Structure 1
Amino acid sequence: MLYSKPKDEISVILAQYHIVPNYFETVGKVVKVYTNQGVFALKEANVDRVYRNNLVENVRSLQDKGFRSVVPIYHTQNGEYIVEFNTKHYYLMPWIESVDARSDENLHFQRMFTSLGKMHGSTQKEKKVDKDQLQVHYDTLTKRWSKDKDVLENFIEAAEGNWYMSPYELSYCTYFHKILSAHQFARGQLDEWFKKMKDTENTRVVMNHGNLSISHFLVNKRGEGVFINLENAQETTPIQDLTNYYKGSFKTYPIQQPDRNNWLKMYEKNFSLREEERLLFLSYMAYPTQFSSKINSYLKRSDGSTEKDNVRDLLSAYWHMINIEYFVSKIQEDVEAAKAIEDL
């Protein structure tokens, strides 16, 4: 698709890099710029995210630590990495011609998780555990989860007290024991994590991508992968990238694919999770986040949704939970198998 903005606008921006465009086109959210010096990618930046999360510093820090699987950001002739024009902000990168991920999707994901493990490994830092902050986090989370549990239990009590159940209530009653089991498992993992962290002096923080997605990982024809779109990158626990990615990836029809567990194994070959990190990861993954909010929405029914819509929505949340249950169970199996080998 040919770029719709005036050519003069792009030319003015690129002139600050001493680059003269021949022509350009939009590809997704970037402008692909063809020049005599090569092909470039010009992206309009979310200025708040770029400066709040120190995009440029993060990319340079990764490269300084020897991590090359990240697309570089070019600076202008004046040394600026972010260019402002007409109140908008842009940054320039080399254009990377990526192979089609669909040609071998599983291999593409393996490469992404391998690179993610290397990125986390190359940027890891030890950080002293703030015991007060730890307690506040635990108290806040358990309080919220207790309120969620009250909603879950109150709704089934009300539903079972009805002479005739609505389709939504009947569906919920069918799912309830699975939902409660997931809630109890997540709380148990959280309690184990808190108990262990109280006796732990140091924890780890790493550079997280912040928006991990297969569309943000490009692989060239030589099989070399690079991360793009690091505007949300920040230093925090390594499980943040994992939890955010996996939670989103299971929002689909029921699946039981070991591939997703294998991707995690590829990650851990390069950056092995500590016991306390795994406990918190399993807790966050297993917690049935959606149900209390969906019940509250159903009770209010202020969005005009029909009974059928709500039943379908509840089923989607149930599928999401079941998919995660399989994923978590396979992780537990692997942990138990590793412990059995150690005990030999």
Structure 2
Amino acid sequence: MSEMNRLEAIHPILKDYLVEPYFVEDYGGVQKIYSNKGTFALKKIAPTIGTDFIRHVHLLYQKGFNRIVPIYPTMDGRYAVLHENNLYYLMPWMSNDYKEDREHKNQQLFRELARLHTLSAKEITVSNEERTEHYEKTIEQMDKHQEFLDGFIDECEKKTYMSPFELLYCMYYTEISQALRYSKAKFEDWYEKTKELEKARMVITHGKLSSEHFLFDDRGYGFFINFENARYGSPIHDLLPYLSRALNTSLKRSDTALDWVYHYYKYFPFKEDEKLLFYSYLAYPIPVIQVAESYFRKQRPRNELKFVRKLQQHYWHLKNSEYVVMRMTEIEAQQQYAKEGAQQQSD
């Protein structure tokens, strides 16, 4: 699209803000607008997403959380403009040029996430039926996964000549199975601890947490963008996907990921039941099970190399996650031991 056409296309949207565009640059779903009133970001979203997230953004501002890039209202008070079957909203443009090492940025991201969760936290009523239904469905899924793992290894071991994938699966089977059993045990502990509780803690979750959705202004302050998936939910739902992506690498002991979690805990510590659920979900080896199921269902000829690579990659992810979970449980045990020792001395 030519520059003139781009200007013509956004003119009807920006007139609702009394903004006169001079020049436009495309950045995928976001356009950078140079105008008579400064530089803006115009974001296009599908109308199916709706504007519920703006309610959450406003609620956070009211509670004193201002580390979200603000959304500007139109002259008649709307926070989004419907134009040719798309919704658009307007924000200030964030330079994101602030030079800081990546680790410091991640620390700031987790601190601000913890503040966001702290300020929006509320207790909601959860019925026994809801909790039990969630528990039973999850346990049923875990049992099905265990059944598949056991059935598939039996199939592999019956063969005189295994394929490379089957051979690798047999090598990994014990550790995949252990991870699944650990995940199930922690989930059962969570249920035992919470089945009598009538309340659960909920926060506004960002819903799409990523370092790309945390931008810096020229003073070095970080701000969240991309709040379209924000909703009330467990704080775990923000941490898990972020950590899972960070651990999706070759084999490594990621003490960095541990640092992030404990930096977050400094400002928003998880309760005992939240920790159990967090360990269960982080340890759950779903990706590696899914690749084995996908291989099992695939009609021949199979691309062995592709499947072997995927299995290895997801196995590494399992081991990286296992390291983080094990270190966290060790740290918890040490802290508990120290606390009990201090209590005994004071008695």
Please tell me the TM-score bracket, short chain as reference.
over 0.9
Q: Is the 8 A contact 2:29 2:45 kept in 1?
A: no
Please tell me whether the aligned partners of residues 114 and 266 of structure 1 are also in contact (alpha carbons under 8 angstroms): yes
Alignment partner of 1:6: what SS? helix
Task: Please say if 1:324 is aligned against 2:304.
Answer: no
What is the match of residue 180 of structure 2?
183
Distance 1:192 1:4 in 2: 62
Gaps of 5+ in 1: none
Rounded to whole Å, the distance in 2 between the matches of 1:156 and 1:21 is 63
String of CA shifts for 1:220-246, please: whole Å, max 9, x gaps: 232211100000000011111111221
Q: What's the TM-score, normalizing by structure 2? A: 0.94
1:310 aligns with 2:280: no
CA distance in 2, matches of 1:169, 1:100: 49
Percent identity of paired positions between Structure 1 and Structure 2: 35
Secondary structure, in 3 states, of the residue corresponding to 1:25?
A: strand
Q: Tell me the amino acid that sits aligned with residue 153 of structure 2.
A: I
Q: Which runs of 5+ in 2 are unaligned?
A: 342-347
CA–CA separation in structure 2 for the residues paired with 1:181 and 1:238: 26
Post-superposition CA distance 1:290-324 (Å, at most 9, x none): 23322222122249641111111111110110110
Aligned residue for 1:110? Answer: 107
Cα separation, 2, equivalents of 1:113 and 1:153 = 39
Of 330-339 and 137-146, the range deviating more from structure 2? 330-339
Q: Distance in 2 between matches of 1:284 and 1:3?
A: 48
Equivalent residue for 1:61?
59
**157-166 vs 67-76, which deviates more?**
157-166
Judge conservation of contact 2:98–2:217 (CA < 8 Å) in 1: no
Cα distance in structure 2, aligned partners of 1:334 and 1:219: 33
**Within 5 Å, which residues of 2 pair with 1:122-201?**
122-201=119-198
Deviations 1:121-171 (A, max 9, x none): 000001123110000000000001101111100111111121122111110
Asked if 1:236 is matched to 2:233, the reply is yes
Distance in 2 between the 1:4 and 1:287 partners? 52
The residue correspondences of 1:161-310 to structure 2 (distance < 5 A) are 161-302=158-299, 305-310=302-307
Counterpart in the other structure of 2:24: 24
Query: TM-score, length-normalised on structure 1?
Result: 0.95
CA contact (8 A) 1:84 1:90 kept: yes
Q: Which moved more, 1:322-331 or 1:115-124?
A: 322-331
Matches within 5 A, 1:12-91: 12-51=12-51, 54-91=52-89
C-alpha distance in structure 1 between counterparts of 2:19 and 2:300, whole Å: 51
Secondary structure of 2:232's match? strand
Matched residue SS, 1:49:
coil
Please provide the CA RMSD for this pair: 1.7
1:68 is paired with a residue whose SS is: coil
Aligned residue pair count = 341
Alignment of 1:90-105 (within 5 A): 90-99=88-97, 103-105=100-102
